[in-house]
Structure 1
Amino acid sequence: MKRTQHYRMKNQLWRRVFVVILIVIILCICSLYLVQHKPATLKPEPKAVRHTDKAASESVIKNLNQNVLLKNNNLAVSFNTQLRDSGFIGTALVVQHNHVILQQGFGYADKKKNRLNDAQSLYQIASIQKGFTATLIMQQVRAGKLHLNTLLSQYYPNIPDANKVTIKEMLTMTSGLTEKMDANVFTTEAENVAFDAEHTTVLSSPRWSYQAINYRLLSGILMQITHKSYSDLFNETFNKKYHLEVSDYKDFMTNQHRTIGYKNADYSQLAPENPLSYAFETGTGNMAMSAGNLYTFYRLLTDHVMLNENSLNMMWQHPVTSRYAAGMYHYDEYNTGHGIQVGFEPTIILTKNGQDAVILMSNENAIGKSWQPLAKQLFAQMTAIKIIK
C-alpha cells in the first residue's frame, strides 16, 4: 500500500514539473511572437544632441547679440580689415571652430539719424526665409500629417499637373510650376495663396527652376494642415518656442533695431518701403532678424534640435540636377544660402556641422553688386575649403 502511494506521489510530482515546463515554453513562444509581430510605430525622437555638442552649441550662441572682435586672433583682425576696405555695409558674423571671432557692424543702419549697424541690427532675410518654411513642412512630416511623396493635388487639385507634383519636388523646386501673375490686392495670407494657386501654371521644361510659387503653395498647405495662419504658425514655432526674435514686416518697421534699406553705398537712394510687396511674400521672404539669431536658427538645425538627423537629411537632400533644397545650396563640405530684397542682401555659408560660418547681413543692395563673393572669400580663407563659384 505504501509503495503504491509513493508511486502515485512520484507521478503527480512529475506531472506538475511537466506542466510548469510546458507553461514556460508556451510563454516564451508567445513572447517571441509578440516581439516579431509588434505593430509598427514611429521611432521616438532621438535626443537633440550629445551632451558635449549641446554645451558647445549653447556656448557659441548665448552671446550673439554682442559686438565681438578678437584682437588676438589674426584671422578676425584680417577679416575686419577686409570688410572695411570692401566698403561693406551691414553686420558680419564669423564663427570659427565653434567660437565667435568677429561680430561687427559696418556703416549705417539709418544714415539720416546717424545710427550705426551693430550686432543687434535687424535685416530682411529675403529668400533665406524659405528654409524656415521648409522646416515647418518637415515638422509636419515628422508628426505624420504629411509625407514627402504627398501629391499637391491633395491640397490644390485645380493646379495643372498637381497630381504629378510631390511635396519633395516643391522643396527642391523641381516641380515644374510657375506663376502667371502676381496679386495687386492683399487681404489675408490664405487668400493670397489662394490667388497664387489660381494663377499657377506649368513650365515648358520640367527641369530645376527657381520659382517662389513652390514655397507659397507650401505655406498654403501648412495653413490647411494646422488651421492657423502662416504668421501665427511661424511665430509659435520660431519665436515662442525657439526665441529667435524674427520680425514680420509690420513689427520690423517699428523695431528700434531695424535697418533702412539703401540702393547704393553713399546712402543717397533709399529702397522703397512697400508693405504690399512684403505681404505678398507669404512663406518666401517677408521676415527680418539679426545675424546672430539667423546663425542660431542654423545651429538648431545642424545640432538636430528642431529636426532629428533623419528629418534634416531628408529636408536637405537635393536632386541630381541641382544643389538646391529647402532654402539652401548644398555641397560636399558646406551649405550656403542667399537672398535679395530691394535694399537688403543676406548671405550665409557654413560647414555641415555649423561650427564654422560666415554671415553677411547687408542693408545695401546696389544693382550689379553682391556681397556673396566676399562671404565666400572669407569662408574659404578660414576653412581652406574649395568654394564652388
Structure 2
Amino acid sequence: MQFKSIILPMALVIGQTLTVQCAFAQDPYAEPGDWDPSLRHPLFEQANDLIQGYVDLGSFTGTVFVQQGGETILHKGYGFANEVQWVKNDRRTRFAVGSIAKQFTAVAILQLMEQEKLKLTDTLEQYIPGFPNGNKITIHYMLTMQSGLAEITHLPAHWENRYTELSADEHINLVRGAQALFDPGTDFRYSNTSYLLLARIVELVSNTQYEDYLRENLFKPANMTSADVLDPTMYEHYLARGYEIFDGLVEGRPYAKNTAFGGGDLQMTAKDLYRWELALKDGRLISQATYDLMHTNHIENFGYGIGVAPLADGSPSHYFGGGGHPGFSSSNYRVQDTDTTIVVLNNRGNNKAVFMSYQLLQLSEGLAPTFAKPEISLPEQNVQRIVGNYTATNTRWPTSVELFIDEGQLHGKYTMPWAGSLPVWQYVAHSQLEFTEQYWGGFTRFEEDENGAITGFNAEGYIYVKDPE
C-alpha cells in the first residue's frame, strides 16, 4: 500500500510533464526554451521586455521572430489574433504582410529571367500595351521603382474600387490612361503600379495564375507551409484579423481580392518569412549571381522588391522590407554578415512593426535600444502651444497635418493629396515634447526655439514645420 501511494503522485507528475511536452510537440514551431527557461537565448528577456512594453501600451499585438547565427533569440505571439473569439496570436498565426509581397513578385520575375523566358531589358509595351512611355519602361525600371508610371493608390478610381473584387486586368485598366510622372529611369517613385504589372507579366510569361506560380515555385521549395495569397473572405483559427485604432479598437475592413495584386496580397507566419530568407540565401530559388543582383542598391537604397542600406555606422549592409494592409503592418530585416533575421508582424493597424524591428536590430548588435516610453498626463495649457498647422518638408508628396485639442487630448488630422483627409487620431504624451500618435504608432518629438515656441516636429525622420499663424 505504501508502495502504491508513492507511485500515484509520481505518475501524476510524469503525466503532467508528458502533457506539457505533448502540448508543445503539437506546435511545429516549438522551442526548447518553452519548457526549460534555462535553454532560452541570453537576449530573450531583453527582447521580450522590449516587445511587452508596446503590448502594455496597447500599441502592439502580433508575432515576433528574431534569430542570429542559427540561434533563436525570440519567437513569440502577443495579444489576440481575433479579439471577438479570444484567439491569441502565437507562432502559427498568419498575417497580411502588405508590401513585403513585392519581394516575391521580384523573385518570380528573376526566376523567369534565369529560365531565359524574359529579359530585364524587355519593355512593358511587349507584354501589356497602352501605357505612356510603355516602349521605354523596362522590367528593370519597374523592379526598381523608376518606371514613372502613375501610382494606382493615388487615383480616386482605386479608392472607389478597393472593396470591389476586380480582376488584375481591370485594376490595370484603372491606371492605364493616367499621365506619367516622369521619364523612365530619370527618378525614383515608390510604385504599386509597377508591381501590379510585374505580377501580370509573370502570369503571361509562365502561362500560370500568379497565386499558383507562387505556391509551386516559391512557397513550396522554401517550405513556407502557411504562406498563401490573401483571401478577405477566409476565416480560420490561425488567420489574424486586422484591427484599427480610431475611436476605440475596430476591425479593419480588408481590401477585396486583387486590390493589392502583386504588391501587397500575401499572408504568412513570421517563421515563413524566415524560411523565405533561408531559401533565398541557400540558392533554392535563384542563383547567387541573381541574389546579388536583387540585393544591389540600384537607386535610393532599393534593390529588386527590397530595401538595401548600410547600418548607421557604415557596417554590414542590411536588407529590409515592410508593408501595411488594413489593420496590419509588417517588417523583415536581414543582416547578412551577422546572420540576423528579424520579423515583426502586427495586427494592431499601426506602423510599429518597422520601428520595433529596428529596435530589435539594435539589441541584436549589442546596442541599447530605445524602449517604449510610459504614457503621462499633461495639463491642457501645456499642450496648447503645440496646436496649429504643420507642413512636411522632406516627403515626396505634399502632406499637411492639423493638430488640435479635443476633450483635453492632442489629436491630429493628416491630409494627403491622393487620399484626402485621413481619419483623426489621438496622440499620447511621454514628456512635454515627446508623443506617440496612435494610428501609425510613430514616435513624434516636437522642437522649440529659444523662447519656448514650437517650431515643428520630427515623426520618425519625417520633418514637419509649423505654418505661420
Q: TM-score, normalised by structure 1?
A: 0.76
Given the alignment of the two structures, is residue 283 of structure 1 paired with residue 262 of structure 2, yes or no? Answer: yes
Summarize the Cα distance change of 1:219–1:111 in structure 2 as closer, same or farther, 3 Å threshold: same
CA contact (8 A) 1:153 1:163 kept: yes
For the residues of structure 2 that align with 1:142 and 1:157, how far apart are their CA atoms?
24
Shift of 1:344: 0.4
Q: Tell which deviates more after alignment, 112-121 or 324-333.
A: 324-333
Whether the aligned pair in 1 keeps the contact of 2:80 and 2:88 (CA below 8 Å) is yes
Q: Does 1:317 align with 2:264?
A: no
Aligned pair 1:148/2:120, yes or no?
yes
Instruction: Work out whether 1:379 is the aligned partner of 2:365.
Output: no
1:103-124 CA-partner distances (Å, limit 9, x unpaired)? 0011111122121110000000
Could you say which structure has the greater relative contact order, defined with CA pairs below 8 angstroms and 6 or more residues apart? Answer: 1
Q: Is the 8 A contact 1:89 1:265 kept in 2?
A: no
1:208 matched to 2:188: yes
Q: Measure, in 2, the Cα distance between the counterparts of 1:73 and 1:232.
A: 38
Q: Is this contact kept in 2: 1:64–1:292, CA < 8 A?
A: no
Match for residue 195 of structure 1 among 173, 194, 202: 173
* Helix, strand or coil at the partner of 1:340: strand
Q: In 2, are the aligned partners of 1:179 and 1:201 still within 8 Å (CA)?
A: no
Of Structure 1 and Structure 2, the greater helix share is in 1
Mapped partners of 2:165, 2:338: distance in 1: 38
Q: Equivalences for 1:180-259 in 2 at 5 Å?
A: 181=155, 182=157, 184=161, 186-189=165-168, 191-192=169-170, 194-196=172-174, 198-204=176-182, 206-244=186-224, 245-250=226-231, 253-259=234-240
Alignment correspondent of 1:273 = 254
Amino acid at match of 2:68: Q
Q: How far apart are 1:240 and its partner, in Å?
A: 3.8
Q: Between 71-80 and 90-99, report the one with greater CA deviation.
A: 71-80
Aligned to 1:326: 304
1:74 alignment partner in structure 2: 42
Q: CA 1:215–1:293 in 2, change beyond 3 Å: closer, same or farther?
A: same
| Contact 1:192/1:280, CA 8 A, preserved across alignment | no
Q: What is the aligned-residue identity percentage?
A: 23
CA contact (8 A) 2:166 2:258 kept: no
Rounded Cα–Cα distance in structure 2 between residues aligned with 1:329 and 1:231: 24
Structure 1 pair 370–199 and aligned structure 2 pair: CA distance change class (3 A): farther
| 3-state SS in 1 of match to 2:307 | strand
Question: Which residue in 1 is equivalent to 2:340?
Answer: 356
What residue is the counterpart of 2:138 in the other structure? 166
Partner of 2:102, secondary structure, is helix
Superposed displacement of residue 73, structure 1: 2.7
The 5 A counterparts of 1:83-122 are: 83-87=51-55, 88-122=60-94
* Change over 3 Å in CA distance of 1:265–1:100 after alignment to 2: farther
User: What SS does structure 2 have at the residue aligned with 1:263?
Assistant: strand
CA–CA separation in structure 2 for the residues paired with 1:73 and 1:386: 17
Would you say the 8 A contact 1:127–1:284 is kept in 2? yes
Contact 2:318–2:335 under 8 Å retained in 1: yes
Q: Is the 8 A contact 1:123 1:344 kept in 2?
A: yes
Report the TM-score, using the length of structure 2 for normalisation: 0.63
2:104 matches 1:132: yes
Matches of 1:266 and 1:361 in 2, distance apart?
A: 23
What is the count of residue pairs matched by the alignment?
321
1:83 aligns to what SS in structure 2? helix
Contact 2:166 2:259 in 1 (8 A): no
The answer on whether the counterparts of 2:297 and 2:309 sit within 8 Å (CA) in structure 1 is: no
- Is 1:264 paired with 2:264? no
* Paired residue type of 1:336: F
SS of the counterpart of 1:253?
A: coil
Pair 1:265–1:378, CA change in 2 (3 A): farther
Deviation at 1:169, TM superposition (A): 1.0
- List runs of 5+ in structure 2 lacking aligned partners: 1-26, 311-316, 370-459, 462-469
Q: Residue by residue, what CA displacement relative to the aligned partner does 1:315-347 show, whole Å, maximum 9, x if unpaired?
A: 22232x401122221023211111011100111
SS state of the match for residue 257, structure 1? coil
Partners of 2:322 and 2:215 lie apart in 1 by: 22
